[in-house]
Amino acid sequence: MKNTVEIKKDGVYLNDEKFFLVSGDMHYFRILPEGWDRRLKLMNDFGLTAVTTYVPWNLTEPRPGEYCFQGRADLCRFLEAAQQNGLKVLLRCSPYLCGEWEMGGLPSWLLKDRTLCLRSSDPAYMEAANRYNKVLCDKIRPYLYTNGGPVILVGLENEYGSFGDDKEYLQMLCDFYRNENIDVPFISANGVDNFKYINGTLDDNWNGIDHCAHPDSLPQFEKLRELQPDKPLMSGEAWTGYIQFWGREFLKSTTGKYMAEYFREALRMGVCVNFYMFCGGTNFEFTSGALHSVGNTGYAPLMTSYDYDAPVSEEGTPTGKYFELRDVLDEYLEKEKRPHVNPLDYEAQEIKNIELTESAMLLDSIDNLSEKRVMANRTICMEDLDQDYGYICYKSQIRYTDPRVRYLYIEGLADRATVYIDGEYIGTQMRDAENNSEIKFTVKEGGSELTILVENMGRINYGYEMYDRKGILGAVRVKIQNPDGSFLYNYANNMRYTIDCLPLKSISSLEYKKGIELTDKPCFCKGTFDAKAGIDTFVDMAGWHKGNVWINGFNLGRYWEIGPQRTLYVPGELLKEKDNVIEILELHRPKADLTVSCPDHSLLCEKINNSLLSTDFMLL
| CA 198 remoteness from chain centre | 28
- Flag whether pLDDT at 619 surpasses 80: no
Tell me what pLDDT residue 610 has: 58
Our CA angle for 385, 524, 356, nearest 5°, is: 160
Q: Which H or E run contains 78? A: helix 75-84
Fold of 366-502: Jelly Rolls (2.60.120)
Query: Does a cis peptide bond (omega within 30 degrees of 0) precede residue 415?
Result: yes
**Of 100, 237, 358, 455, which is the active-site residue?**
237
Tell me what pLDDT residue 435 has: 82
Write out the CATH class of domain 5-332.
alpha beta
- Helix pair angle (36-46, 320-332), 10° resolution: 40
Tell me what pLDDT residue 609 has: 73
Fold of 351-360+512-598: Jelly Rolls (2.60.120)
Question: Which of 489, 494, 497 is closest to 475 using CA atoms?
Answer: 494
Three-state SS at 332: helix
- Flag whether pLDDT at 615 surpasses 80: no
- Flag whether pLDDT at 141 surpasses 90: yes
Lowest mean pLDDT among 183-192, 357-366, 607-616: 607-616
Query: Does a cis peptide bond (omega within 30 degrees of 0) precede residue 522?
Result: no
Rounded to the nearest integer, the mean pLDDT of the chain is: 96
Tell me what pLDDT residue 239 has: 97
Tell me the average pLDDT across 598-615: 80
Contact 119, 96 (CB under 8 A): yes
The rounded distance, in Å, linking the Cα atoms of 522 and 311 is 38
In the chain, how long is the greatest CA-to-CA distance? 89
**Is 334 noted as a catalytic residue in this protein?**
no
Tell me what pLDDT residue 612 has: 54
Contact 442, 405 (CB under 8 A): yes
- Flag whether pLDDT at 554 surpasses 90: yes
Our CA angle for 112, 300, 555, nearest 5°, is: 70
pLDDT digits (tens, 9 = 90+) for 532-542: 999 999 999 99
Residue boundaries of the structural domains of the chain: 5-332, 351-360+512-598, 366-502
Question: Which of 57, 41, 281 is closest to 155 using CA atoms?
Answer: 57
Name the residue with higher pLDDT: 371 or 618. Answer: 371
User: CA-based Rg of the chain, rounded to a whole angstrom?
Assistant: 25
Q: How many CA atoms lie within 13 A of 49 on its CB side?
A: 13
Contact 419, 450 (CB under 8 A): yes
Identify residue 211 by its one-letter amino acid code: H
Per-position b or e across 514-552, b if 16+ CB within 10 A of its CB: eebeeebbbbbbbbebebeeebbbbbbbeebbbbbbbbe
**Is 237 noted as a catalytic residue in this protein?**
yes
- Flag whether pLDDT at 617 surpasses 60: no
Tell me what pLDDT residue 595 has: 98
| CA 200 remoteness from chain centre | 23
Quote the pTM value: 0.96
Contact 473, 381 (CB under 8 A): yes
Tell me the average pLDDT across 613-618: 52
pLDDT digits (tens, 9 = 90+) for 387-413: 999 999 999 999 999 999 999 999 999
Q: Which H or E run contains 391? A: strand 391-398
Tell me what pLDDT residue 433 has: 86
Per-position b or e across 183-219, b if 16+ CB within 10 A of its CB: bbbbbbbbbbeeebbebbbbeebbbbbbbbbebebbe
Per-position b or e across 92-123, b if 16+ CB within 10 A of its CB: bbbbbbbbbbbbbbbbbbbbeeeebbbbbbbe
pLDDT digits (tens, 9 = 90+) for 289-345: 999 975 567 999 999 999 999 999 999 999 999 999 999 999 999 999 999 999 999
What whole-number percentage of the chain has pLDDT above 70? Answer: 98
Contact 75, 28 (CB under 8 A): yes
422: left (phi over 0), alpha (psi -120 to 50) or beta: left
The rounded distance, in Å, linking the Cα atoms of 33 and 574 is 11
CB atoms within 10 A of CB 584: 23
pLDDT digits (tens, 9 = 90+) for 180-196: 999 999 999 999 999 99
| Cα distance from N-terminal residue to C-terminal residue, the chain | 42
Three-state SS at 482: coil
Ordered alpha helix ranges (H), 453-533 = none
**Of 100, 157, 159, 315, which is the active-site residue?**
159
Q: Do domains 5-332 and 351-360+512-598 have the same CATH topology?
A: no
pLDDT digits (tens, 9 = 90+) for 485-495: 999 999 999 99
Tell me what pLDDT residue 613 has: 55
Q: How many CA atoms lie within 13 A of 503 on its CB side?
A: 15
Contacts of 66 (CB under 8 A, 6+ apart): none
Tell me what pLDDT residue 293 has: 73
